[in-house]
Amino acid sequence: MSRARAAAVAAALGACLGICLILGLGLGLGLGLGACARTLEPPEWQRRQQKMTEITTLWAQIRDWRRAAHMVLDPTPADMFQWRGRTVSEAARVCPDGRTVPANATCSDVCSLADAICDNAEAICGIADELGKADHDAQDKCASAKASCREAKQRCCNCSKEAP
């Protein structure tokens, strides 16, 4: 092989190695950036705190609605105990079958408020279930929300019995 040909082969190999090196570095850089771009899951305590913040916000809204409806801010401990371990839909089942609530403005407001409270109770208890039965703070808020739902639905069902 001539010197010129050997130089040409060496140059070709050098170019090939250079391209392979650049591709290798590019691939490595791409993988490195991809690993950095991956979203990291927040720690467990932070996920719990986010869920508890959601629960507390919904629960505070229920308390505001209770205040606006001239109800005591919190249900009694006995009412909370009664609804612990039962579903929101059970708590909301108050009116006897076939009972209709009058379609006047007062009853409409009372019943809309009851629906909103029960919707918040569903959301609170759903989040509390995600956190688990051992999370007493979340389960207490769920029990409070269910008792509030029950009390509000009773007010709705009894609306026509109240004095005008």
End-to-end Cα, the chain, rounded Å: 113
Average pLDDT over residues 10-22: 53
Q: Residue 16 has what pLDDT?
A: 53
> Closest by alpha carbon to 64, among 55, 75, 73, 77?
73
Q: Residue 125 has what pLDDT?
A: 97
Question: Residue type at 10?
Answer: A
Q: In the chain, where are the structural domains located?
A: 1-40, 44-161
Instruction: Judge whether residue 11 has pLDDT over 60.
Output: no
Q: Residue 134 has what pLDDT?
A: 95
Q: What is the DSSP letter of 70?
A: T
Residues 6+ apart with CB under 8 A from 138: 51, 52, 55, 127, 128, 131, 132
Question: pLDDT, tens digit, for every residue of 50-64?
Answer: 999 999 999 999 999
Helices (H), the chain: 3-37, 44-68, 77-83, 88-92, 105-131, 136-157
Mean pLDDT of the chain: 82
Question: pLDDT, tens digit, for every residue of 103-150?
Answer: 787 888 999 999 999 999 999 999 999 999 999 999 999 999 999 999
- Cβ-contact 144, 74 below 8 angstroms: yes
Q: Residue 164 has what pLDDT?
A: 43
CA 145, CA 94: separation in Å to the nearest integer? 15
